[in-house]
Amino acid sequence: MPVIRVLIVDDDKNLRKVLTIELSGEGFKVDGADSGAEAMDLLERDEYDVLLLDLNMPASTAWMS
């Protein structure tokens, strides 16, 4: 069975850490980003099956381009 890749995008470091620990423990491959710009960089380099996104993060022009 293939590993499911998850990208967590949230400016809350503690939330990213908890979600990473929990999801990794369930067998998911997890990466995290603390900004839209960092997430865009990761998305350009890798493919993800699931994106968990904080919709209340400060505005980022990276999402608009």
Q: What percent of the chain has pLDDT over 70?
A: 89
Residue 63: pLDDT band by 50, 70, 90 thresholds? Answer: low
Cα(44)–Cα(58) distance, integer angstroms:
21
Q: Check if the beta carbon of residue 11 is closer than 8 Å to that of residue 3.
A: no
Beta bridge partners of 8: 32, 52
Would the pLDDT of 64 be above 80? Answer: no
Could you tell me the sign of the dihedral formed by the alpha carbons of 17, 19, 22, 25, in that order?
negative
pTM score: 0.87
Mind listing the pLDDT tens digit for each residue in 29-40?
999 999 888 999
